[in-house]
Amino acid sequence: MSKIIKHYQSLFKQYGPGPQAVQYTDFETQNARFEVLSQVDKNLNSVMDFGCGLGDFWSFLRSKGDECLYLGLDIVPEFVDYANARFTDSSKAQLIGDESVLPSGYDYAMISGVFNNKTDDNWNFMTKTLQDMFSAAKKGIAFNAMSTFVDFQDPELYYVDPMKVLKFCKQSLGGHPVLRHDYSVRRDGFPFEFAIYVYKIPRYFTS
């Protein structure tokens, strides 16, 4: 993890507090991902944001009028310090730098961009993180990842078969997953990533 920390510290030093510091191209693509994840539930009352970066998901929710209870977790000290200073105007937002202890009591756990960088063992990191977050959340999780259904793969990034992840969420987590591979983060762009919602209780729809 020290390699990942140093990577983001370098980006923060180079770009300052902006989307590039957390490896997003711009606010447009960042907010597009947030929009997809936020659709896990029409009423978000409390959210735990794993790998929260600068707390931009909280800013996104506030811009929509969804000022829910928010807990951000990140391993980069500079991100946590900046975000906590940024949100002193609200008692609903808190950011901490210890990801080893996951607080309970939050409805949903959100995970955006955490699985994109290559590590020594991406699959085990992904599945362990999903297991931990699903156990900690009250209602479920929402996360994204890079899809193998693309015509180009960056050698520095991790791409994973969406069906493999869906199967894991259904069989190993024991949840009720929804796979979304219908969106692009840019207008007229190619959908090179996917999102999955995993609910603890099946959803019921009435006409």
- The confidence score (pLDDT) of residue 3 equals 86
Dist. CA 31–CA 92, nearest whole Å: 21
Dist. CA 104–CA 50, nearest whole Å: 13
Q: Is residue 74 part of a domain?
A: yes
What is the SS3 assignment for 117?
strand
Task: Give the total number of structural domains in the chain.
Answer: 1
pLDDT tens digit string along 40-54? 999 999 999 999 999
> Which range, of 24-28, 50-54, 168-172, averages the lowest pLDDT?
24-28
Read off the CATH number of the domain in which 157 is found.
3.40.50.150
- Provide the domain limits for residue 150: 2-199
